[in-house]
Structure 1
Amino acid sequence: MSTAVEILKKYWNHDSFRSAQQEIIDSVLEGRDTFALLPTGGGKSICFQVPAMMKDGICLVISPLVALMKDQVSNLDKRNIKAIALTGGLHTDEISDLLDNCEFGNYKFLYLSPERLQSDWIIERLKNLPINLIAIDEAHCVSQWGHDFRPAYLKIINLKTHFHKIPFLALTASATEKVRGDIISQLGMEQVAVFQKSFERNNIAYMVFEAEDKLHHISRILKKNPQPSIIYVRNRKSCHDTASQLQSLGFSATYYHGGLSASEKSKNMASWMDEKKQVIVATNAFGMGIDKANVKTVIHIQLPENIENYYQESGRAGRNEEKAFAVLLFSPSDPVQAGNQFISVLPDKEFLTRMFIKLCNYLRIAYGEGIDENFGFNLNHFCSQYEFPVLKTYNALQFLDRQGIVTLSQEFSEKVSVQFVIDSKEILRYMSLNPKEEPVIASILRNYSGIYDSPSALNLSLIAKKSGASESDIIQVLKKLDDRGLIDYKAKSNDATLVFNEIREDEKTINRVSKYLERQNQQKKEQLQAVLEYVTNKNTCKSRLILKYFGEKDAKDCGICSYCISKQKKPSSGVSIAAEIHHLLQSQALNSREIQNLVKHPADDIIFALKQLIDHHVIEIGADNRYTLSKK
């Protein structure tokens, strides 16, 4: 049998393991239940992939994230390792065929969501598989105190009954002390080996700055650190706006969010990964499977929802172990905006019940029906019809998704169906007269043989790949053909696909999960309070605040965060700064940014001096936000 290092070298081309990986693998190979807490960038997947490759049989991987499952299967396929994922939207026959492949096709990895374990027939099929390891990824989801609790994870313990000799490996990147104990208990892990790597990232300088003009602050950071950078924002509009503003300032920037097509995501990510773009502006949709070692700076320009997410996102900086920066910019109004964004949009039981009943009516699902049905769903249209607030409704749908009641697949694509309504000779004649459109039309005809007989749903990304045209160009060609009466063209825009995993039972359904909703809402409030403490605390090392949140109470000051740097600096004389500002304003009116560029002192000290000068009526501020000497 090959050694763990030999497997690592053969398939992943690495000569050695990262910290704790070898010990975790050895524990699994000894057949022990194992708990592994490896912070972001710690290489969790290697911990189950390597031992699974060393043993006969197949590794069962339970994961809550479809995108992560697809990403890992794709990466394994590239290494010629056979893997399958049972993702949403598959019919029973398709799932059965895939499980046949696992049983007889020498597959090494089977990925599925915890919701699949609620089907007795799937459990029966799993019993027939030669399972050598059960890996539970994102294991914090099993804890009611975790930041993304999913009740379906509570069913995983039932696998112990059928696979009592097979080791469990629970993996997470973020778990407090309370959550760690709960995970081990809820999974029924016995004589468990616990491996926990410290959350400390001693090469990352955690910086928190109060900044009214955030774009100006970003500009200064990026000029000082021209290496690859990530800027996290909260929504798609901010993605586009921030990237556009940076481009206008001369920075090479692109963007990434869940609303882009697969080809756009791939193109934008590649331009940043290949360093054709310095900056990628992204929502939290960006990050899964991203392992770029030389990210110098991660900047958040809006408050994150919780410390867990902030730690994971900021932890994408400095994976090459060189000094890097995690910068959080905030303004005095941000806490109020965060409350409006994260807390006021939380659905309560009454709203969830009302929304669920209207959703079933909207999709024409009768009481007692709906299970395994698949629906195209436009969120904005639904909210408009019933006058529901969009964010609160989206959060309610996400909650139902996490509880396994529905599966919400965000696709954000245009569904296109086409049928040619003239004979093939006329199409050939048209192509000869319009050679620029020939590659698109020819690609469609080659890939859809029945397109003359009935409408065919087109895969635009496939046509784009085959023809060399962009998806938008393909749409233009199709619209032109439709206008000329050559084809019958239909396009339907859907935000998402909804799959109902249960029959409709209205209040009975909601009553069953409402206790989790109340607990989730309370926890989200506590998590946001921890973020506000991190931002506003001016008396504690920022790294220590993060480590304390995760239960590491004996950490020392890091020496490189914004607090530690400010402590090392000699305090500026408020009187001397005020004198400098007064001298500057004698010759011209200036805004705060211009003053900061001319007065070489910390921004906080300058803001304090400006406030003192205004309070004492020495200076005043005009409607144009420029400061002048007081006329009184």
Structure 2
Amino acid sequence: MPEQAATDDILHVLRQTWGHTRFRPLQEDIIRSVLAGQDTLALLPTGGGKSICFQVPALARPGLCLVVSPLIALMKDQVENLRQRGVKAEAVYAGMSHQEIDQTLDNCVYGPVKFLYVSPERLLTDLFRVRVAKMKVSLLAIDEAHCVSQWGYDFRPPYLRIAELRELLPGVPCIALTATATEQVREDIVEKLVFGASHRVFQQSFARPNLSYSVLETEDKFRRMLEVVRGVGADKTSIVYARTRRQTEDAAAYLQQQRLSAAAYHAGLPADQRTKVQQDWMQNKTRCIVATNAFGMGIDKPDVRLVLHLEAPDNLEAYYQEAGRAGRDEKYAFAVLLRGPADADELRRRTRLSYPPLDTVRRVYQALANFSRTAVGGGELVAFDFDLQQFAETYRIKALDAHNSLRTLAREGFVQLNEAVNNPARVHIPIDHTDLYRFQVANVQHDQLIKSLLRLHGGELFAGFQRISENSLAQYLRLSVVELRKMLLFLHRSGIIQFQPRHESPQALFTTPRHDADKLPLDQKRLTRQRDLATHKTDSVIRYAAGGRCRQQLLLEYFGELEAPACGVCDFCLARKKARQESVPMPELRAQLLELVKATPQTPREVLARYAPGQASAVTALLRDLVELGELRYATDGRLSG
């Protein structure tokens, strides 16, 4: 189609669905590349609008967009956002029942679904392979594409199987998106996703001109945190990142004691409380949210003025992403890292412990099999509730060893750990209207419940699983939640409905059939390479924190932007600018001192008090020279005069 017509079409989609009147930088070029059928790699900084780059072209052409994403919470957020805009979207991820996955995939084959989000582990199950071949897939989108690279900071082995998926979708273009990728990772993405020879790569500079990066030395992080939050403005929106759940709660409590509006957020909180904390912060009822690093993915709050880290993340990719949640409205904002005297040593220690001995990893794998009662050869993609503390105590394993061994098993592609995600109760009616009516006539005691479900959710219940609020439904029927759940379970066992109870516990699963722990095919050479890479990334964080140069230049060089100018707004640039402003050329300083002391005899301390700290050494040296030359002399009271 003519170029102007294409522009009009995609702008119409943008206006109609999102209400925007123009694209952000590079978005339109990326969308045109996708619509031209070219494999496309899009590297946009955090807040750069990556999702628009695949959602707009998917809506501008017939067919379904298949989106691969590693994070359940992010998937659920994007699906919900699309549904709120009137776009049909579905997701398949760990924790869903077989019936629910089956129904969802059926909807994508036969229904008007435009987006199917799927975790990489689900891509090549027999069930998925059969169904995806029947879907009218027009675009394959790979979110968080850095996960495909072993040189990246968050490698996920299941991402390597996307190449196999592409064989099932001949002729379907692929768009890969990420906010953070070094040159080596970019090359790896193109290779591992089997991009065509005519592929395009679009990269926006990682520079954030409105974001002031700072590293502050301190021995009292909570006191310094308070000073920074107040300095930016206690009435401004801020995020404080902590490493542990305990630290989030202690830091939030400290801010509250100082009468600041703050709340803690972490995966260990009940789902209702997490939702309320997030909503209160989004609506500016709470000004500061103190969170673990899981918070912020997929959350688009443009007016965050401060992101403060109590501890440095393990790598600069994570720091850049988290810090980049400040100032998305392009107004001035601050990214602050607090640095304690022992932080570098502690970061190196954590990195070293992240790669436990192989016998410890095998022991944890066996314990996980026992914990989940999974036999050798079974358990593939079957999720089970998992509490790390309970697991460690049950099998007498140090919690840190268990955590790091499970992370190693996840990196090697044997297990997957999912943080607690709020999955509301869901209901689907698998029978037709006639059979349902017969059941209602024969079972009057359940008639009111079925009518209420249909009144509240309509015919959509027959098409697929619909979320229900057990509390609201119980109030509507004047029942207790316990009584309501018993009735729903009875209807489920009777085959009248398919009922998935509410679920919010952390989960784990084996991503391959369970191995004999002694024969678990761990690759020692690859693990050693990963450990060395992690050590290199840790050293990069330590060098960034040590500074000595423009902070933004240090970050940009890490991502391959070698000729970036100094930002002018980080702590280093501002200090250098201040020193230049405060410095006085030596001839002028000499004249000033002679005039000052001849007019009013003063002690050296009184003279120094008139100059900035940065000038102290120059003033002291010049006073000494002037005395030695006889142009100034000391009086008996210790004052200098001309």
d(CA) in 2 for partners of 1:45 and 1:599? 56
Partner of 1:202: 209
Instruction: For 1:196, give the aligned amino acid.
Output: Q
d(CA) in 1 for partners of 2:468 and 2:324? 32
Which of residues 92, 96, 99 in structure 2 aligns to 1:90?
96
- Matched residue SS, 1:570: helix
Partner of 1:320: 329
**Worse-matched range after superposition: 137-146 or 91-100:** 91-100
Contact between 1:34 and 1:192, CA under 8 Å: does it hold in 2?
Answer: yes
Which of residues 498, 519, 530 in structure 1 aligns to 2:508?
498
Partner of 1:561: 570
Contact between 2:271 and 2:421, CA under 8 Å: does it hold in 1?
Answer: no
Residue 105 of structure 1 and its aligned partner are, at CA, apart by 0.5
Partner of 2:200: 193
TM-score (norm. length: structure 1): 0.77
d(CA) in 1 for partners of 2:610 and 2:278? 39
Partner of 2:401: 392
- Matched residue SS, 1:266: helix
Residue 143 of structure 1 and its aligned partner are, at CA, apart by 0.8
Instruction: For 2:409, give the aligned amino acid.
Output: L
- Matched residue SS, 1:296: strand
d(CA) in 2 for partners of 1:514 and 1:504? 20
- Matched residue SS, 1:569: helix
d(CA) in 2 for partners of 1:350 and 1:535? 35
Partner of 2:606: none
Instruction: For 2:50, give the aligned amino acid.
Output: K
Which of residues 329, 336, 341 in structure 1 aligns to 2:350?
341
Which of residues 292, 302, 305 in structure 1 aligns to 2:314?
305
Residue 353 of structure 1 and its aligned partner are, at CA, apart by 1.2
**Is structure 2 residue 48 aligned with structure 1 residue 42?**
yes
Which of residues 101, 104, 108 in structure 1 aligns to 2:110?
104
Contact between 1:114 and 1:153, CA under 8 Å: does it hold in 2?
Answer: yes
What are the Cα deviations for residues 222-270 of structure 1, in whole angstroms up to 9, with x where unaligned? Answer: 2222211111110111111111111111211112111122221121112
Partner of 1:592: none
- C-alpha change, 1:285 and 1:387, in structure 2 (3 Å) is same
Residue 172 of structure 1 and its aligned partner are, at CA, apart by 0.7
Partner of 2:365: 356
Q: Which aligned pairs between 1:43-122 and structure 2 lie closer than 5 A?
A: 43-122=49-128
**Is structure 2 residue 234 aligned with structure 1 residue 224?**
no
Residue 338 of structure 1 and its aligned partner are, at CA, apart by 2.1
Instruction: For 1:557, give the aligned amino acid.
Output: A
d(CA) in 2 for partners of 1:347 and 1:278? 40
Partner of 1:277: 286
Contact between 2:313 and 2:319, CA under 8 Å: does it hold in 1?
Answer: yes
Instruction: For 1:146, give the aligned amino acid.
Output: G
The two structures, once aligned, show a CA RMSD in angstroms of 3.4
d(CA) in 2 for partners of 1:494 and 1:33? 38
d(CA) in 1 for partners of 2:293 and 2:340? 21
d(CA) in 2 for partners of 1:383 and 1:220? 39
d(CA) in 2 for partners of 1:465 and 1:409? 28
Residue 599 of structure 1 and its aligned partner are, at CA, apart by 13
- Matched residue SS, 1:351: helix
**Is structure 2 residue 133 aligned with structure 1 residue 127?**
yes
Partner of 1:520: 530
- Matched residue SS, 2:409: helix
Structure 2 alignment gaps of length 5 or more: 1-5, 426-447, 454-466, 486-502, 584-608, 617-642
- C-alpha change, 1:523 and 1:564, in structure 2 (3 Å) is same
Partner of 2:622: none
- C-alpha change, 1:502 and 1:185, in structure 2 (3 Å) is closer
Contact between 1:88 and 1:407, CA under 8 Å: does it hold in 2?
Answer: no
Contact between 1:206 and 1:562, CA under 8 Å: does it hold in 2?
Answer: yes
Partner of 1:30: 36
Contact between 1:62 and 1:114, CA under 8 Å: does it hold in 2?
Answer: yes
What are the Cα deviations for residues 361-415 of structure 1, in whole angstroms up to 9, with x where unaligned? Answer: 3333333333344433332122123332212312322343454433323338999
Contact between 1:349 and 1:510, CA under 8 Å: does it hold in 2?
Answer: no
d(CA) in 2 for partners of 1:601 and 1:199? 35
- Matched residue SS, 1:188: coil
**Worse-matched range after superposition: 112-121 or 77-86:** 112-121
d(CA) in 2 for partners of 1:498 and 1:509? 21
Residue 68 of structure 1 and its aligned partner are, at CA, apart by 1.1
- Matched residue SS, 1:64: coil
d(CA) in 2 for partners of 1:292 and 1:495? 27
Contact between 1:86 and 1:111, CA under 8 Å: does it hold in 2?
Answer: yes
Partner of 1:630: none
d(CA) in 1 for partners of 2:184 and 2:74? 26
**Is structure 2 residue 555 aligned with structure 1 residue 549?**
no
- C-alpha change, 1:391 and 1:462, in structure 2 (3 Å) is farther
- C-alpha change, 1:45 and 1:515, in structure 2 (3 Å) is farther
- Matched residue SS, 1:318: coil
Contact between 1:353 and 1:506, CA under 8 Å: does it hold in 2?
Answer: no
Runs of 4+ in 1 over 6 A off after TM superposition: 412-416, 598-603
d(CA) in 2 for partners of 1:116 and 1:372? 8
What are the Cα deviations for residues 422-470 of structure 1, in whole angstroms up to 9, with x where unaligned? Answer: xxxxxxxxxxxxxxxxxxxx99xx99xxxxxxxxxxxx994555679xx
Partner of 1:580: none
d(CA) in 1 for partners of 2:520 and 2:611? 59
**Is structure 2 residue 542 aligned with structure 1 residue 535?**
no
Contact between 2:90 and 2:117, CA under 8 Å: does it hold in 1?
Answer: yes
d(CA) in 1 for partners of 2:386 and 2:149? 31
Contact between 1:259 and 1:412, CA under 8 Å: does it hold in 2?
Answer: no
d(CA) in 2 for partners of 1:103 and 1:401? 31
- Matched residue SS, 1:217: helix
- Matched residue SS, 1:498: strand
Aligned sequence identity (%): 42
Contact between 2:94 and 2:381, CA under 8 Å: does it hold in 1?
Answer: no
Instruction: For 1:360, give the aligned amino acid.
Output: A
Instruction: For 2:191, give the aligned amino acid.
Output: S
- Matched residue SS, 1:35: strand
**Worse-matched range after superposition: 98-107 or 21-30:** 98-107
- C-alpha change, 1:414 and 1:81, in structure 2 (3 Å) is closer
Partner of 2:276: 267
- Matched residue SS, 1:292: coil
What are the Cα deviations for residues 446-500 of structure 1, in whole angstroms up to 9, with x where unaligned? Answer: 99xxxxxxxxxxxx994555679xxxx999xx9xxxxxxxxxxxxxx99633333
Instruction: For 2:556, give the aligned amino acid.
Output: L
Instruction: For 1:332, give the aligned amino acid.
Output: P
d(CA) in 1 for partners of 2:136 and 2:377? 37
d(CA) in 1 for partners of 2:611 and 2:144? 46
d(CA) in 2 for partners of 1:602 and 1:286? 41
Contact between 2:474 and 2:481, CA under 8 Å: does it hold in 1?
Answer: no
**Is structure 2 residue 388 aligned with structure 1 residue 379?**
yes
Partner of 1:173: 179
Contact between 1:378 and 1:494, CA under 8 Å: does it hold in 2?
Answer: no
- Matched residue SS, 1:3: helix
- Matched residue SS, 1:511: coil
What are the Cα deviations for residues 209-233 of structure 1, in whole angstroms up to 9, with x where unaligned? Answer: 1011222322222222221111111
Contact between 1:142 and 1:154, CA under 8 Å: does it hold in 2?
Answer: yes
d(CA) in 1 for partners of 2:519 and 2:300? 40
Contact between 1:352 and 1:510, CA under 8 Å: does it hold in 2?
Answer: no
Partner of 2:439: none
d(CA) in 1 for partners of 2:372 and 2:121? 22
d(CA) in 1 for partners of 2:468 and 2:231? 39
Instruction: For 2:529, give the aligned amino acid.
Output: R
Instruction: For 1:148, give the aligned amino acid.
Output: D
What are the Cα deviations for residues 126-169 of structure 1, in whole angstroms up to 9, with x where unaligned? Answer: 11111110011111111110111111111111233232311110
Which of residues 358, 378, 384 in structure 2 aligns to 1:369?
378
